[in-house]
Amino acid sequence: NTPVNKPLERQSVRIFNTLGIPRREIAEVSFTADRGVYGMRVFDKDGKEVPCQVITSRHYEIEKEQNRGTAFQPHIPAADTLINAGMLLFPVEVPAMGYNTYLMEAVHEDNILPITGTHASWQDGLLQVESDRYRILLDPSRGGIITSLVAVDMDKEFVKQDRTTGFNEIRGYFPSANSFLGSAAAPARIEILENGPLRVHLAIHAQIGGLPILSEM
């Protein structure tokens, strides 16, 4: 449980593209961290920082009374702020049949600036998911259906407000009820598993005809 006195150097990761066309996608790299790590930073081969998102799978379990100051790490905060292991997401650009190298660096100070981008937030009982391209509203009171889907650059709404069934609603015929039933008839619980800035991951716990449904998006 002793804090490290010297941080690890930057670690490199090489992303290969085996296709005959250039690709720009989100890469996922698993990592483990020393004690005292608050977050991660990523740089391209030219030393330019690129946005990244940390999905923490394990935290360090420490007690506040165990705090010991060092020249490198002046204090250790509460357990849920220190990263032990996780997944690092960052955008990559790789030429056709080639590769690019990126550098990963641990952040040992609790002063990470937030990165704007894709994010989810609650607005008047609805969950709004917004990116640079789309803005989506989900209604948990109606089974988590999508009540609005707007293409931001086109300023176009894709959900017709006079629909008789919900957009993204799950429906089916139930012989026991002798009718069609839909998931919009019962409320749902929407769980935010990941919240930007590169990706939002939701789990929608709904039901249809009294049977539980779990859908992710």
Question: Which of the residue ranges 10-14, 44-48, 55-59, 150-154 would you say has the lowest mean pLDDT?
Answer: 55-59
Torsion angle of C-alpha atoms 138, 143, 145, 147, degrees rounded to 10:
-60
Per the structure block, which two tokens stand in for 4? 């490290």
Mean pLDDT of 18-47: 90
Q: Is the pLDDT of residue 65 over 50?
A: no
Structure tokens at 91: 């955008």
Angle at 133 between CA 132 and CA 139, to 5 degrees: 100
Question: What is the average pLDDT value for the chain, to the nearest integer?
Answer: 84
Q: Is the pLDDT of residue 70 over 50?
A: no
Q: What is the pLDDT of residue 35?
A: 78
CB 86 within 8 A of CB 52: no
Give the pLDDT confidence score for residue 98 in this predicted structure.
96
Burial environment of residue 95 by CB neighbours within 10 A (0 to 12, 13 to 18, 19 or more) = exposed
Task: Return the higher-pLDDT residue of 28 and 161.
Answer: 28
Q: Is the pTM of this model over 0.85?
A: no
pLDDT at 138 over 80: yes
Which residue would you say has higher pLDDT here, 28 or 66?
A: 28
CB-based contact 55:87 (threshold 8 Å): yes
Contacts 24+ apart (CB under 8 A), 209-216: 209/172, 209/174, 209/176, 209/177, 209/181, 213/170, 213/183, 215/144, 215/170
